[in-house]
Amino acid sequence: MATPNITMAKAINDAICQEMRRDPTVILLGEDVAGGAGLAHLKGEDAWGGPLGVTKGIGAEFGRGRVWDTPISESAFVGAAIGAAATGLRPVVELMFVDFLGVCFDQIYNQAAKMRYMFGGRARVPLVIRTMIGGGLGAAAQHSGCLYSLFTHFPGLKTVVPSTPYDAKGLLISSIRDDDPVVFFEHKAMYGLTGAVPDEPYTVPLGKAEIKRQGRDATAVGIAKTVHTCLEAAALLEEEGVSLEVIDLRSLSPLDEETILTSVAKTQRFVAVDEANPRCGMAADLAALVATKAFDRLAAPIRTVTAPHTPVPFAPVMEQFYLPSAEKVAEAVRSIVKK
């Protein structure tokens, strides 16, 4: 089979379609995941395929018995996906923007996350919640959050954040096949990113980080879009003779501590880069991890590069100032690397 260059959006669409072909218990549901439900003139075609078209064509291929457009009732349909998972289906449910978690959080953290444990292992909840994160599109405060740390806080949930089309497909297939609930975060500014993706189904394991670039002088850890920010920073720093190692976490829970700590042991310097707000976020969590488990290997203070502690602003000049940039990452690295 071929390995064409495709977009992240197409990679996600392919992963869902291939799993739905393989396993009849996989269903897709969410607001307008197909769109135009019940309208005869569409003749079974999807009106939307999700608000950004990521799931377009899936409804047409599999029909409305497996692709369920939902009313705008997140508690009901996310909860229904959980109940369906506990009774024998493998639902892939879309919570359109992660900022909408406020209207259905109980179902996710009190129900899906805890069922297997509360019931003494007698339940399994093989569920994937797909949801969009991230700024950069001017979507402002209520449609741009990077709220994965809230989900990562809860035992029982797995949290996955791909940064490439290849990983998006492999991680999503792993997530669908996993017997625990997985929250799968898709950075909406990265749907158009292209990369080589094999046509055939494959898996990328959950809980395994990837070293995207080898380096000697410092370790930078990124999540989703900030992986690319770190790689840009590494290119800038290379011109200055500084060698930056870049790690893509890919999963936040389970967290691949070993890859991070091994890298820090080598480089002795650590920068955590995250598009989320700083308090109680992944950057602070990673800094704490390195400080508690590798303090004696550090030759310099830990640095974090995050969004400021503000909501995401609207105006492009403000939003660009809000987001981590390669220059901010490079500056953080420079501040801890001896010349």
Partner 1 sequence: MALDKHMLKSLYETMARIRAFEEQVRKEFAGGKLPGFVHLYAGQEAVAAGVCASLRPTDSIVSNHRGHGHCIAKGVDPRGMMAELFGRATGTCKGKGGSMHIADIDKGMLGANGIVGAGFPLACGAGLTAKVKGTDQVSVCFFGDGATNQGTFHESVNLAAIWKLPVIFVAENNGYAEATPVSYAVGVPDLATRAAAYGIPGVIVDGMDVVAVHEAAVKAVARARAGEGPTLLECKTYRYYGHFEGDAQSYKTKEEVQRYRDRDPLRVFRGQAEKAGWISSAEMDAIDARMAGEIQEAVAYAESSPQPRPEDIFTDVYVSY
* Residues numbered 261-320 forming contacts with partner 1, rule: CB under 8 A: none
Please select the residue that binds partner 1; options are 40, 155, 239, 317, rule is CB under 8 A.
Answer: 155
Q: Does 57 bind partner 1 (CB under 8 A)?
A: no
Residue in 245, 218, 242 with CA at minimum distance from that of residue 231: 245
Q: State phi, psi for 115 to the nearest 5 degrees.
A: -55, -50
Tokens 């930056």 sit on residue: 244
257-267 vs 282-293: helix crossing angle, rounded to 10: 60
Judged by phi (left if over 0) then psi (alpha if -120 to 50, else beta), residue 239 lies in alpha
**Nearer to partner 1 among residue 45 and residue 257 (C-beta):** 257
Half-sphere exposure of 68 (CA within 13 A, CB side): 20
Site string for partner 1, 117-146 (x = CB under 8 A): xxxxxxx-----------------------
**Nearer to partner 1 among residue 288 and residue 299 (C-beta):** 288
Q: Does 11 bind partner 1 (CB under 8 A)?
A: no
**Nearer to partner 1 among residue 25 and residue 194 (C-beta):** 25
Min CB(253)–partner 1 separation in Å:
6
β-pair type (210-213, 194-196): unpaired
**Nearer to partner 1 among residue 210 and residue 331 (C-beta):** 210
Report the C-alpha gap between 20 and 43 in whole angstroms. Answer: 21
Contact set with partner 1 (CB under 8 A): 25, 27, 65-66, 68, 70-71, 73, 75-89, 106-107, 110-111, 115-123, 155-156, 158, 180, 207, 253-255, 257
Catalytic residue set: 143
